[in-house]
Chains A and B, each alone.
Chain A
Amino acid sequence: IQLTQSPSFLSASVGDTVTVTCRASQAVNNYLGWYQKKPGRAPELLIYAASTLQSGVPSRFSGSGFGTEFTLTISSLQPGDSATYYCQHLKGYPITFGQGTRLEIK
Chain B
Amino acid sequence: DVQLVESGGGLVQPGASLRLTCAASGFTSIDHYMDWFRQAPGKGLEWLGRSRNKGERYSTEYAASVNGRVTISRGEYRNSLYLLMNNVKSEDTAVYFCAKDNGHWAFDIWGQGTLVTVSS
**CB 8 Å contact bits of A18-47 with B (1 = contact, 0 = none):** 000000000000111101010001111101
Size of the B side of the interface (Cβ < 8 Å), in residues, is: 23
The stretch that binds B, out of A48-56, A66-74, A75-83, is A48-56
Question: Which residue from B47, B99, B104, B107 sits with its C-beta under 8 Å from A94?
Answer: B47
Contact B45 A42 (CB under 8 A): no
Question: Which residue from B45, B61, B104, B111 sits with its C-beta under 8 Å from A88?
Answer: B45
* Chain B proximity of A104: nearest CB distance (Å): 16
Contact B44 A42 (CB under 8 A): no
Contact B108 A54 (CB under 8 A): yes
Question: Which residue from A41, A45, A89, A99 sits with its C-beta under 8 Å from B108?
Answer: A45
Question: Which residue from B63, B64, B110 sits with its C-beta under 8 Å from A43?
Answer: B110
Contact B110 A44 (CB under 8 A): yes
Q: Which residues of A contact B107 (CB under 8 A)?
A: 33, 35, 43, 45, 88
Contact B105 A42 (CB under 8 A): no
Contact B105 A100 (CB under 8 A): no
Known: A86-B45, A88-B45, A97-B45. A42 touches B97 (CB 8 A): yes
CA distance A96 to B48 in the complex (A): 10
* A positions within 8 Å CB-CB of B: 30-33, 35, 37, 41-45, 47-49, 52, 54, 86, 88-91, 93-100
* B positions within 8 Å CB-CB of A: 35, 39, 44-47, 50, 61, 63-64, 97, 99, 101-102, 104-108, 110-113
